[in-house]
Amino acid sequence: MASNYTCRACSRALSKPSTLLSQANVSRRKCVFKAPQPHRGLSTSRPRSADLNKPQTLSQVLGRDQPSQGTRRHGAGIAAKFREKAPLLTETYVAYSATEKLLQECARSGDYQIPQALEKKGEIPEDDNGVHIGVGTGWWYETLGLQPNFNNWAQITFIHMFMLQVRFRMLPDTHAGIWIQHLTNHAFYAAEDRLVVWHKLNSATVRQKFLKDTFAQWRGVLLAYDEGLVKGDAMLAAAVWRNLFGGREDVDFEKLAQIVAYMRREIKRLAQATDGEVVNGEWMFEGDPGQEADSLKVASRLLREGGTKK
């Protein structure tokens, strides 16, 4: 039969509440989660709804003070000057490339070569004055009878450069000087190359002497042709006679007149052309002075009217 006996230890344990259960209930009551507090080093100020709705300027957002009125005026002045000068920053590069091709066109009519200069031990032929003689073709050498040499090449080139320079003077003042300077520079680059390649002048000192003399001739050509352009065909013919023919007496004056007529014709063509047609580097001179032979046989209006001005 079942016994009703309970030991003293068991009786004591049943009479007291369980310690583990009591601790679990206490922990359950105290487990209340709190919102995390921001770290003190990252705390922000109290938000202001009025400031958030208020529009802010860029200076306020960036934390900078707005420039003063004087500073704004100074900045506007710098910007205006930059806009004014900006086209000229690229103008010199455009002019350099275009005038290089235009100079080739100016020198085309007077081009010559010296085949002996390309030979290893070739001797360059000379005239009685020790001037190197080359081989050239075209109206200026074959019809006019000029000797293919460096000086005549330069003078023929100068005639065409002068006509182009007259047209460059019609460009805006801020551009004309750039184009004239680059055309002149290319002419003397080409002259020095010619002295090295075709005349074997490898000494820089000797080349500089030639170039200085050539530049002095160019300055004289400009003054003389400008005067002739203003004062009339007779003055222009005298300038061509002095520079191209060296003032010789055995000059064919009919051909000299053809050169003057050719210069007048080409200057007129250049004047009638637009700036874009001239400065694109593709301009070409038409024909040669010999094409003016027929026009010179026609009597002028002054001769037809009696030969005197009224």
Tokens 């360059």 -> residue:
124
One DSSP character per residue, 257-273 reads HHHHHHHHHHHHHHHHS
d(CA 293, CA 240): 17
Enter the pTM of the model: 0.71
Distances (CA, A) of 153 to 29, 105, 108, 145: 113, 13, 9, 13
For position 227, what pLDDT does the model report?
97
The string over 168-189, giving b where at least 16 C-beta atoms fall within 10 Å of a residue's C-beta and e elsewhere, is: beebeeebeebbbebbbebbee
Task: Give the H or E element holding residue 249.
Answer: none
Tokens 């009217």 -> residue:
305
For position 46, what pLDDT does the model report?
47
Q: Mind listing the pLDDT tens digit of every residue in the chain (310 residues)?
A: 445 545 555 555 555 554 444 444 444 444 444 444 444 444 444 444 444 444 444 344 444 455 556 555 655 566 556 445 555 667 888 999 999 999 999 999 999 999 999 998 899 999 999 999 999 999 999 999 999 999 999 999 999 999 999 999 999 998 999 999 999 999 999 999 999 999 999 999 999 999 999 999 999 999 999 999 999 999 999 999 999 999 999 999 999 999 999 999 999 999 999 999 999 999 999 999 999 999 888 877 766 776 555 4
Distances (CA, A) of 51 to 46, 48, 120: 11, 6, 89
Q: 112 — phi, psi (to 5°)? A: -150, 165
Structure tokens at 172: 């805006």
β pairing state of 135-136 and 112-113: antiparallel
Among 269, 294, 299, 297, CA closest to 284: 269
Cα angle, residue 268 at apex, residues 262 and 274 outer, rounded to 5°: 135
Tokens 């205006």 -> residue:
80
- Residue 128 amino acid letter: D
DSSP state of 121: T
